[in-house]
Amino acid sequence: MTNCIPVKTNTALCSLLAVTCLSKLSSKMIDFDVGVILPAAGSGERLGGSTPKQYCKILDKPLFLYALEAFEKISYIRRIALVVDDPGHVEALLQESNCHKVLVVQGESTRHRSIRAGLQALTKQECDLRIVIVHDAVRPIVPEDLIELLVKAADETGAAGSVCPLVSTVLSAESDGSLKTALDRKSHLASETPQAFQTNVLVSSYNKCSEEDLDCGTECLQLALTYGGIHARLVEGSPNDLWKVTISRDLYTASQCLRERNNSVCIMGTVDCEPARLLAQSLMSCVKTVERVVMSNEEDVQRSSGLRFNNVVFFHTNQIDMERSLLNFAALFDLDNQGLIIHILEQENAEELQNMNVYDLQSSGRKMARQYHKLKKGVVVIHCLDNEADSGNLVRLVTTLIQTHPYSMTGQTLFL
């Protein structure tokens, strides 16, 4: 859901006013329970295909699960109503997830009717939800800092919604399809989700609204204004976060965006080599986290951060002992997200490569792939000459591998 909201000031001033008002709220603690409604009952007609967009797999995970898991991790979120078209199917999908706050609710024929169904399910729970958040389940990014601001603003004013500046000019058309007028972009904003409401405000608005509202409307903030007299606080968010999957190309964008946001890389080795330093610099701009670790030996992993990583790059000075590598470095692996393990073996000279049995190397790679797949990890082995002139090629190769699907090259042995 993205609607166009008229504002009385230009976009820059609206943003400034929001920041000024919300700065007073930043120090307040959220010491009350909050509920969430995730509407996910649409048919996805604009996407095309036979699978509704909320069920499309992104990095082998249903799209709706990203938003659900993000809200699950927020401490003050008490209950989440996931409103769907097929509860049985969704409950089966959730069996392997770690979601304990979710209520799966049968959706209805329109957006407002489905949100109302989710609201009714939340209010029947034995908990006092002071604020309810509405967020499209096909928006996988849930900015926690924005959620906090919206919840605090709604607690103070009754309702709050995230907005972004308009990118395209919005036209108003006559009934015959001809141009009526062009709206001034400076006076309008794009309404996005998440949105937050005092529970009694949202309940009252749905109780008072008309059948036409339920059948044709899409904007919850407008319901709160029309039937509750609540002028919602508008909070500008980042277009990099507040996007949704609508058409087929959005699936590719979502895949790349989520991979970058979820990707973390640990670069390990027993020496502080130039390729490792260059690789860390290359990855800084395209992954969430990069950490370099220099070990005294390959069996002694001492790290200060305690972080877990879905991608690990090992610079080896000896041949790989697969079983020992898995045992020694298991504590490094983030098992919740797919990733890639890359073993880099630096050879002293070309003769060492020529003497290797290629069949045995490829067989070993495939065996490693089967072992690592149990950990949701792909594996690639790279044999390269110890030549600093080739560092750039190695860095580009590893960076590309990290950015692609972790299983696309798993089990392969590469020579550089």
Please report the DSSP string for 175-191 in residue order.
TTS-EEEE--GGGEEEE
pLDDT in tens, 262-291: 899 999 988 888 899 999 999 998 888 999
Task: Give the whole-angstrom CA distance, residue 259 versus residue 355.
Answer: 38
- Mean pLDDT in residue range 188-214: 97
Mean pLDDT value of segment 388-416: 86
Q: Residue 216 corresponds to which tokens in the numbers above?
A: 């044709």
Q: What is the 3-state secondary structure (H, E, C) of 31-81?
A: CCEEEEEEEECCCCCCCCCCCCHHHCEECCEEHHHHHHHHHHCCCCEEEEE
| 60 band by pLDDT with thresholds 50, 70 and 90 | confident
165: phi > 0 → left, psi -120 to 50 → alpha, else beta; which? beta
- Percentage with pLDDT > 90 across the chain: 53
Instruction: Tell me the whole-structure pTM to 2 decimals.
Output: 0.78
Query: pLDDT at position 217, please?
Result: 93
> Where do the domains of the chain lie, and which CATH numbers do they carry?
29-167+182-257 (3.90.550.10), 263-415 (3.40.50.720)
The per-residue pLDDT for range 31-42, each reduced to its tens digit, is 999 999 999 998
Residue 360 has pLDDT above 60, yes or no: no
- Round to whole Å and give the CA distance between 182 and 112: 28
d(CA 365, CA 385): 19
Q: What is the pLDDT of residues 107-136, one digit of tens each?
A: 999 999 999 999 999 999 988 999 999 999
CA atoms within 13 A on the CB side of 206: 20
